[in-house]
Amino acid sequence: MEHVLNEEELYDALSDLFVDNEIDYKYIASVAKLFPISHVEFVLFNYVAPVCFSNLLTPIPPIWQGFATDYLINEINKIKKNENTFLGKIKMHMLSKYLRFKFSYQWKMLKELL
């Protein structure tokens, strides 16, 4: 019987794109392929990347083994809570555009494996 993943496992796998270590695209794709590609893209750029991207913008990234799952889920839940407000929608839209540009290479590499 095939394992059915939940959203939290997808968040956790996608967050690996933002650690200061070699990215295991095959592992991330093995998790993400169980979801529609449009959903993976939305989750990546609207939930996971806004929480994790700053790790790679620092001179010495503090997170190199992986993000704490509880932290990741709590921060994503905050984003989801704010996405229903007018300012939350605008902020999410603008940040998502920036993140799609900034991390287009990582998305391209992952998408090729999906």
Q: Is residue 1 part of a domain?
A: no
By the 8 A CB rule, do 72 and 52 touch? yes
pLDDT of 3? 55
- What is the band of 63 on the pLDDT scale with cuts at 50, 70, 90? confident
Q: Is residue 106 part of a domain?
A: yes
Q: Is residue 2 part of a domain?
A: no
Number of residues in the chain:
114
> Has residue 71 got a pLDDT over 70?
yes
pLDDT of 86? 87
One-letter amino acid at 13 equals A
CA distance 10 to 22: 19
Phi, psi of 26 (to 5 degrees): -65, -40
Mean pLDDT calculated for residue range 25-45 = 95
Q: Is residue 57 part of a domain?
A: yes
Mean pLDDT calculated for residue range 51-78 = 87
Query: What does pTM read for this prediction?
Result: 0.88
What contacts 67, CB < 8 A, 6 or more positions away? Answer: 12, 15, 18, 19, 51, 52, 55
CA distance 114 to 111: 5
Query: With pLDDT > 90 as the criterion, what percentage of the chain qualifies?
Result: 65
pLDDT of 73? 95
> Has residue 64 got a pLDDT over 80?
no
Domain count, the chain: 1
User: Which residue segment(s) compose the domain that 64 sits in?
Assistant: 7-113
